[in-house]
Amino acid sequence: MAAAGEVTAKGMAAVAEAIRPGVSTWELDKIARKTFKLLKAIPAFLNYGGFPAGICASKNSVVVHGIPSKRNILKEGDIISIDIGAIYEGFVGDMARTFPVGEISDEAKRLIEVTEQCFWKGIAFAKEGCRLGDLSHAIEQNAKDAGYGVVRDYVGHGIGREMHEDPAVPNFGKPGYGVRFEKGMVIAVEPMINMGTWEVITDEADGWTVRTADGKLSAHYENTVAITSGEPRILTIP
Ligand code: MG
């Protein structure tokens, strides 16, 4: 799992380096695929449930599952969420980041920062003996304190030989409830935070693209995290 996480992070680093005004999300996808090929890994998202690309590239009001396209060209002031996963020697890594394209507004910056902060607040409870609801609640509370909406229709997940395993890891919940974490469990923790409403809609034309219902910005931050007897091990941060 650690090796798969490392490979995933290398794919993300290669994509991150290419993000700038004028680049298309199709080019970013090509970079991810090329990087994984060199590392002898397989893009975990490609053909997953029929998804047609190696990464999800979700711009501005797109929450998740944006399909890379030659026509989708990044411009100054956009924010772009990249969700990327690799299968390496039979194990899967999964991570997401939201990047600024050039200079972005202060409110967009704050959304990106708070979304990452939600992850760290949550994984303070990714410890043996804590419950899933403790982690979920910490994420929800941090987002709500900032005045943001927490996406409810999409959640984190267990991860291992498959990308999506039990348990579901929601970004909202009740402290003291849910499965108790045990050493050796690996989960993908992924707050998806909206500037406005938590509600989302799926594009009917492509069947994939998930947008905020109010058209406001959304950010995403994800890592693959291993529960140990001490502090959690974050496998997708080198
Ligand atoms: Mg995930």
- What structural domains and CATH numbers belong to the chain? 2-234 (3.90.230.10)
Q: How far is the CA of 93 from the centre of ligand 1 (A)?
A: 9
Report angle CA 92, 210, 155 to the nearest 5 degrees.
45
Tens of pLDDT, residues 125-162: 999 999 999 999 999 999 999 999 999 999 999 999 99
CA nearest to 201, candidates 55, 63, 56: 63
Q: How far is the CA of 237 from the centre of ligand 1 (A)?
A: 15
Q: How far is the CA of 220 from the centre of ligand 1 (A)?
A: 10
Tens of pLDDT, residues 179-219: 999 999 999 999 999 999 999 999 999 999 999 999 999 99
> Residues 53, 29: contact at Cβ < 8 Å?
yes
The rounded distance, in Å, linking the Cα atoms of 221 and 191 is 6
- Across-strand partners of 56? 83
